Amino acid sequence: MSIKENLERIQSEALAQIGASEHVESLNDVRVSFLGKKGALTAVLKGMKDVAPEDRPKVGQMVNDARAAIEKAMEEKRQAFLSALKAEKIKNETIDVTLPAKKPAQGHRHPNTIALEEVERIFIGMGYEVVEGPEVEYDLYNFEKLNIPEGHPAKDEQDTFYINKNIVLRTQTSSVQARIMEKGELPIRIISPGRVFRSDEVDATHSPSFHQIEGLLIDKNITFADLKGTLAEFAKQLFGEETKVKFRPHHFPFTEPSAEMDVSCFKCGGKGCRFCKGSGWIEILGCGMVHPHVLEMCGIDPEVYNGFAFGVGLERIALLKYEIDDMRLLYENDIRFLKQF
């Protein structure tokens, strides 16, 4: 067989194998078989020493032509494979723009935040300012300046988280009131919301960490009637215009006289139901006229100024407004519960 016939045979076999290839990997096998170091065309080139010198250029040209034809066919086949793979990928990954989009989950305000913003709105509308203070507080502001001296039961370590003898995690936001009064910028009309801490067991109505909203008004010629009118308006705006209030005598070290305020049940209108335990009334907050000794310790003359203070649990408002029967639900971060608000 002549060299020309051998080259034609090699080219024909290579083109046939290229045409029969089913994937890119099989093309590599063809390249190695015909164009590799031990391939058929390489073997022809190695046999050039047996070709007459005058015929070598002609034979070399034929080998190059065969190599070019094989490489061209392989490249065309490779591009065909790549095009097919791309088309298949596009087909599988096609986005149907007519389908409705998947909306990302969007968060919203927590029930506590909703209740707090409503309370702030009510008191800001009555001329009050919202102020905040430190959660880690001095015993001086948390107890002493609020007429709770050394040895008072409220200072027992079983009720309070102490950092050391003089520093505690605040048990009430009344400490903010003491700080504001100490500044002596009168008159004062503030509410002080914030997180407080007490060593309570966790149950449906108690937690070692919860939130309070305390209010304070200091001015001249303030009476208990001012306190009653303010809180009555607050209750009506929060629970509805038909809401009534009732004050019961109580004792707080920092107010005198002191009282607890109930609101008429907004579920039954005061008739008595499961929600108010048949009484028609719901306990909501504590309040009273600021104790003269508290004013003195904060540098305010009780002969010239007086005022009232009140405090309400933020979680209690949220539980009542949204008829939640377990305080723990507010902190479990169960999206099935929270998305209702």
What's the confidence (pLDDT) of residue 23?
75
CATH number at residue 242: 3.30.930.10
The answer on 133 and 77 residing in a single domain is no
The answer on 332 and 235 residing in a single domain is yes
The answer on 82 and 124 residing in a single domain is no
- Residue 49 contacts by C-beta under 8 Å, 6 or more apart in sequence? none
Asked whether 327 and 207 are in contact (CB, 8 A), the reply is yes
Q: Look at residues 92, 127, 143 and tell me which one is the last residue of a structural domain.
A: 92
| 219 to 127, 129, 184, 255, 284: CA distances (angstroms) | 13, 15, 11, 15, 25
The answer on 287 and 251 residing in a single domain is yes
Q: Which domain holds residue 236?
A: 111-338
What band does 182 get if pLDDT is binned at 50, 70 and 90?
very high
Work out the mean pLDDT of the chain and round it to a whole number: 86
Q: Look at residues 31, 61, 92 and tell me which one is the last residue of a structural domain.
A: 92
What's the confidence (pLDDT) of residue 1?
56
Asked whether 306 and 215 are in contact (CB, 8 A), the reply is no
pLDDT in tens, 196-220: 998 888 888 888 899 999 999 999 9
CA distance 141 to 148: 10
Lowest mean pLDDT among 135-139, 148-152, 181-185, 187-191: 148-152
Asked whether 324 and 111 are in contact (CB, 8 A), the reply is yes
Of residues 160 and 255, the one with the higher pLDDT is: 255
- The one-letter code for the residue type at 88 is E
Take residue 246 and report the two structure tokens written for it: 């009732």
Q: Going by DSSP bridges, is the β-strand pair 129-130/188-197 parallel, antiparallel, or unpaired?
A: parallel
What band does 21 get if pLDDT is binned at 50, 70 and 90?
confident
What's the rounded mean pLDDT across residues 254-266? 92
pLDDT in tens, 295-339: 999 999 999 999 999 999 999 899 888 888 888 888 888 888 888
99 within domain boundaries: no
CA distance 88 to 82: 10
CA distance 311 to 172: 9
204 within domain boundaries: yes
Asked whether 313 and 212 are in contact (CB, 8 A), the reply is yes
The label of the residue with tokens 């914030």 reads 194
The answer on 211 and 83 residing in a single domain is no
Q: Look at residues 57, 92, 127 and tell me which one is the last residue of a structural domain.
A: 92
The answer on 170 and 84 residing in a single domain is no
CA distance 291 to 251: 11
The answer on 87 and 119 residing in a single domain is no
The answer on 177 and 68 residing in a single domain is no
152, pLDDT greater than 70: yes
The answer on 178 and 64 residing in a single domain is no
CA-nearest of 41, 207, 187 to 112 is 207
In a 10 Å sphere around its CB, with 0-12 CB exposed, 13-18 middle and 19+ buried, how is residue 250 labelled?
Answer: middle
Helix axes 24-35, 56-92, angle to 10 degrees: 170
CA distance 235 to 229: 10
Take residue 239 and report the two structure tokens written for it: 């629970």
76 within domain boundaries: yes
pTM: 0.67
- Residue 125 contacts by C-beta under 8 Å, 6 or more apart in sequence? 237
Number of independent structural domains in the chain: 2
pLDDT in tens, 229-252: 999 999 999 988 989 999 999 999
What's the rounded mean pLDDT across residues 148-162? 78
CA distance 146 to 76: 91
The answer on 192 and 145 residing in a single domain is yes
What's the confidence (pLDDT) of residue 294?
94
Take residue 73 and report the two structure tokens written for it: 């066919």
What's the confidence (pLDDT) of residue 10?
76
The answer on 134 and 198 residing in a single domain is yes
100 within domain boundaries: no
